[in-house]
Structure 1
Amino acid sequence: MKQDQELEAVVRQRIRGLRVARGWSLDEMAARTLLSPSTISRIETGHRRIALDQMAAIARALDTSIDQLVEPVGDEDVVIRPHNHPERGITTWVLSRGSGQTVAKMRITRKVPAELRVHPGHDWFTVLSGTIELRLGDRTILVGTNEAAEFSTMVPHAFGAYDGPAEVLCILDHAGERSHLHGPERDL
C-alpha cells in the first residue's frame, strides 16, 4: 500500500513537472487532455486518484507514455561502467538503449579483423580520438578524430584501430548491437 502511494506521488510529480516544463497552465493542459482544469489540479495535488483513461490522455498530451509516467524510481547505479573484452581488443560503455537503437562508446585497441561480417541494418560512428581503419567491402577507409562514418551493414565490413588505440561513439540498431557488443566470438 505504501509503495502504491509513493508511486502515485512520483507520477503526480512527473505530470506537474512535465506540464510546467512546457510552460502550460492548468487551462492549457486541460484543453489538451479534454479534462477540466480542476481535475488536473486535483490529480497533481493528490486530491484525486488518477484513472487509467485520464493517465492515457495526460501521457498523450505530454508526449510521453504511461510506462514512462509510472516507471519506478530506482536506486540503481547511475555510473556507466566499462565492459572490457581483452580477447577482442575492445572496451565498451553502453550509454543508452531504447527506440531500437543503442548508443555506446568504444575503445578499440585491436587491428582490423581479417574476416568481414554482414548483418541487417546501418552503423554510425564518430571518432573521438585516434584513427579507425574501416574495411567496407573492397575499400579501406581511414576515419580520423572528429570524422564520422555511416554505412549499410549488409556490405561486408570490419573496423579496428589504426596506428594506436582509438575511441568512437557509435549508434547501433538492434542487429548491430547484437553483432558488435555481445559475445567474444563477434567482431566489428
Structure 2
Amino acid sequence: MTQEEDGLDGLVRKRIRALRVAQGWSLEELATRARLSPSSLSRIENGRRRLALDQLVTLARALDTSLDQLVETDTDDVIVSPMIDGSHGLLRWPIKSEPGMTVMRQRMTSPPPDNPASMRAHPGREWLVVLSGTAILMLGHRRLRVETNQAAEFPTMLPHAIGTAGGPCEILGIFDREARRGHQSDRTARPDEDRP
C-alpha cells in the first residue's frame, strides 16, 4: 500500500467514525443500518479490517452521504477569495462542491420598486439572510419585512424584488445556477439599479 493510499484509507475511516458520532449513533446502530456486525464496523473504523468497496457503498448509504463524499481527497482549495463587482456592490463566492451555486454579499440602499412590473421572475431558487438592517422582499403580491438575522427562501419563478426599509441593509444570498443567471441578466439589462 502506498503512502497516498494509506492516507486515503485513514481519512475514510476517520470520516466514517466522525459521521457516525455526528448522528449520535453507537457502533451497534450504524452496524445495524449498514447490515454489518458491530465488531466488523469497529475493525473498519480502527484500521484492523480492509476497506471493501461494497462495504463503503453500504456505509455511505447508511450514513446518508455518497461514496464520492466519503472518499473525497481534494481539499487543496479550502479558501475561496471573492470575485468583486464594485459597480453593483457585490462580493461573489462560487461553491466548489455544488457547481453552479454562488454566494453573494450585497449592501443595498434603495427601497424595492413600487411598480410590480419591475419585479423579475426566472427559473431557480434563492436563499438570503439579512446581515444588517431591514430588507423588504416583494414576492408576488406580498410585501415581507426581513429583519437582521432572519432568512428567506423562495423559488425565483415568483416575481420578486428586494430593497431596504428606510436605511441601508446588507444581505448574503445563495443562488442556484438558474437564479444566478437570472440576476446576472437583470443587472446587465439595468446596470443603474440596485438589486441582489
The amino acid that maps onto 1:177 is R
Q: Which moved more, 1:21-30 or 1:142-151?
A: 142-151
The amino acid that maps onto 2:107 is I
Query: Which residue of structure 1 lines up, in the alignment, with residue 123 of structure 2?
Result: 120
Higher strand proportion, which one?
Answer: 1
SS in 2 for 1:59: helix
Question: For 2:24 and 2:152, how far apart are their aligned partners in 1?
Answer: 39
Query: Which residue of structure 2 lines up, in the alignment, with residue 154 of structure 1?
Result: 157
| Identity across matched positions, percent | 44
After superposition, where does 1:1-188 map in structure 2 within 5 Å?
1-72=2-73, 74-78=75-79, 81-92=81-92, 98=98, 102=101, 104=103, 106-109=105-108, 111=110, 116-132=119-135, 134=137, 141=143, 143=145, 145-146=147-148, 149=152, 151-161=154-164, 164-180=167-183, 185=188, 188=196
- Check 1:34–1:151 CA distance in 2 against 1; reply closer, same or farther (3 A cut): closer
Instruction: Give 1:53 deviation, angstroms.
Output: 1.0
Does the 8 Å CA contact 1:90/1:109 hold for their aligned counterparts? no
Q: Figure out how many residues of one structure are paired with residues of the other and give that number.
A: 185
Moved over 6 A (4+): 181-184
Instruction: Give 1:116 deviation, angstroms.
Output: 4.1
Unaligned runs of 5+ in 2: 190-194
Unaligned runs of 5+ in 1: none
TM-score, length basis structure 2: 0.69
Does the 8 Å CA contact 1:132/1:160 hold for their aligned counterparts? yes
TM-score, length basis structure 1: 0.71
Does the 8 Å CA contact 1:133/1:142 hold for their aligned counterparts? yes
